[in-house]
Amino acid sequence: MEFKVSTLSEFSNNVLMKAGVPSYEADTITRTMIEADSRGIHSHGLMRLPIYIERMQKGFIRTESKITVEKENKGTAVIDGHFSAGQVVATKAMDMAIEKANEYGIAAVSVKNSNHFGIAAHYALKATEKDMIAIVMSNTAPLMPPTGGAEKVLGNNPLAIAAPSSGNNPVLLDMALSNVALGKVLFAKNNGVEIPEGWGTDKNGIPTTDPASVLDGGFILPVGGPKGFGLALMVELLTGVLSGGDFSKMIPSMYDTTKKQSISHLMITINISSFMDVRSFKDLSETLGSYVKNALKAPGVSQLFLPGEIEFGVEEKRLKSGIPLSDGVLEDLAKLANTMNVAPLAEKNIII
């Protein structure tokens, strides 16, 4: 079923506000989920709303944010999110990083005691709107073993880098440092489908296409083997360690509903005008992109894509035609609506 953006946004905001989240913060959280669903990244879309609400009800995520600046210099800051919603804390951090880079040319804002913040691209793209380059990273609960290991020690630690261009869209890299985000395994399990080979193993380290086996004590595998694991390790250092927050095995799973999570982020912003003319940079960025788009194609390949281009294309179509939600997600949202005593997603707002 495909729904209007306004319908999904109203539903999500109503649920969050019923849980005690102020309207502005509810809208911030909702926008990141809708943005994910609109780009086809359903692992970070509205399927996350039920677990957010459950963690709020148990006091693990603040319904109303408390965010303090623990340490600050001209181009840097350390923020304590006090276990507020990750989207709200990360938005504050990126806004501060943009403000600092606007004055000092480059900035880095470190965050601790936050929560899951959705897609990293959301925050990186905020900087491109201000003619800046952004690097966004976060740690997560452990999902991956070290190379040759049989114990989870690192999360898939998302990394996003975005730069403006005079082309149709910014150049955007947004990736988890595992072969796949855990949410995609959850999405597969909830919808009763297998996962591709190479995504994960069972609890004995044996490769599997069964998402339940991965989730039941199994492992998500790092992208690129040792290289991906090494990059995830450095993201862990730049987020959890640098902020003074939790890291690695200190962080419980989001789906362990007996414990708080303390997630850390890092927002780095680069003001292009401090290095060169912004228009020239955007034009050169587009030129670089054209080298990719116009490169010779291998047999059977009809089109070459820049990082982020496919997702932007999906988003453009879905903002017009509607955002699809799977039967599994719809069932979970219907249960949530009943629990929270809010109006369910109405069939009259389905786009056929």
Strands 2-3 and 323-324: antiparallel
Separation CA 274–CA 331 (nearest Å):
50
Residue 103 sits at φ, ψ, to 5 deg, of -95, -40
Instruction: Determine whether 116 is an active site residue.
Output: yes
**Which DSSP symbol is given to 125?**
H
Q: Which of the residues 44, 116, 122, 265 is marked catalytic?
A: 116
Amino acid at residue number 212:
A
Q: How far is CA 346 from the centre of its chain?
A: 28
What residues form DSSP beta bridges with 109? 77, 267
Q: How many helices (H) and strands (E) does the chain have?
A: 12, 13
Q: Give the Cβ contact number of residue 231 at 10 Å.
A: 18
State the burial class of residue 248 (Cβ atoms within 10 Å of its Cβ: 0-12, 13-18, 19+).
middle
Report d(CA 38, CA 177) in Å as an integer: 22
Q: Which of helix, strand or coil describes residue 118?
A: coil
Q: Helix, strand, coil % (nearest 5) of the chain?
A: 45, 20, 40
Q: Which residue in 160, 151, 145 sits closest to 39, CA to CA?
A: 160
Residues with a catalytic annotation lie at: 116
